[in-house]
Amino acid sequence: MDLQNAVALVTGGASGLGEATVRRLAKAEVKVVIVDRDEARGAALAGELAGAQPKRAVFVKADVTSDAEVQAAVDQALALGPLRVAVSCAGVGWAARTLNKEGAPHDLELFKTVLGINLVGTFNVLRLAASAMARGEPLTDGERGVIVNTASVAAFDGQIGQIAYAASKAGVVGMTLPAARDLSAVGIRVVTIAPGTFDTPMMGLLPEPARQSLAATIPFPRRLGRPDEYAALVEHIARNPYLNAETIRLDGALRMAPK
């Protein structure tokens, strides 16, 4: 796909993997709609990237679980041009066991919240972005767009205390093939990235010894992933029309132990 002057929508775009993706796509001359709940960071990033071209990057405050708010973000993207790329990076994590040490069960509302944001929110973005892409003019090869979702290696190697997070990310993996099959008729590809341990703001909350310990478990390169490495894969997926219906582990050969 030729990305020049295409429009991309990136959720969770104000920080971490999402911010790196926004910056990478903007550098490739893509018009970017930054979707996030953090208004201060999102607006600042949009202002920085837009410069003298206010339509180069715009910020829309939205909760990915909201039908109306995500639709408003998609409408903003369409106002800039043809929506060709949608990337879902918004997500949350929470540590809790199925039963705690006292035998109390996992909080049900917490489980629903994690699945609501990570899985239902991802589907919400996918369905609304796909609807907008499907109404657009196809490119010369018939492609109308690509949707990139974010899972996690926890979908395959869920650790102790990750049951809600692992279930939500496994759901994202499970959506990939049927979504790609559903959308093949209108020329829309669907690809999922399953990152390992990346150096994101969430990871930055850990003490340095814990960060070093995590890095030491990665076979090669023996370090945390860099957000721009995730963003580089998003760009490659967008440009490579034969990548479809696949979940790609981006983890330095990491296979997580039980804990």
Please tell me the distance from the alpha carbon of residue 71 to that of residue 124, in angstroms, as a whole number.
Answer: 9
> What integer is the mean pLDDT of 221-234?
97
Q: Which of 240, 1, 18, 14 is nearest to 150 (CA)?
A: 18
pLDDT digits 0-9 by tens, 15-25: 999 999 999 99
Q: Centre a 10 Å sphere on the Cβ of residue 253 and count the other Cβ atoms it contains.
A: 10
pLDDT digits 0-9 by tens, 55-94: 899 999 999 999 999 999 999 999 999 999 999 999 998 8
Q: Mean of the per-residue pLDDT values for the chain?
A: 95
Q: Centre a 10 Å sphere on the Cβ of residue 39 and count the other Cβ atoms it contains.
A: 12
Is 165 a catalytic site residue? yes
For residues 208 and 204, the model is more confident at: 208
Tokens of 199: 């150096």
Give the pLDDT band (50/70/90) at residue 207. Answer: confident
Strand partners, 233: none
pLDDT digits 0-9 by tens, 110-169: 999 999 999 999 999 999 999 999 999 999 999 999 999 999 999 999 999 999 999 999
Q: What is the DSSP letter of 33?
A: E
Q: Check if CATH label 3.40.50.170 holds for domain 7-248.
A: no
Q: Which of 111, 165, 198, 230 is catalytic?
A: 165
- Match 């969430």 to its residue by tokens: 202
Give the pLDDT band (50/70/90) at residue 205. Answer: low
Domain ranges of the chain: 7-248
Please tell me the distance from the alpha carbon of residue 242 to that of residue 215, in angstroms, as a whole number.
Answer: 33
Please tell me the distance from the alpha carbon of residue 158 to that of residue 164, in angstroms, as a whole number.
Answer: 9
Give the pLDDT band (50/70/90) at residue 225. Answer: very high
C-alpha angle 62-248-2 in degrees, rounded to nearest 5: 70
Residue 109 pLDDT: 97
**Percent of the chain residues past pLDDT 70, beyond the cut:** 99
Phi, psi of 134 (to 5 degrees): -65, -25
Residue 246 pLDDT: 98
Contact indicator for 160, 95 with CB cutoff of 8 Å: no
Residue 5 pLDDT: 82
> What integer is the mean pLDDT of 90-107?
95
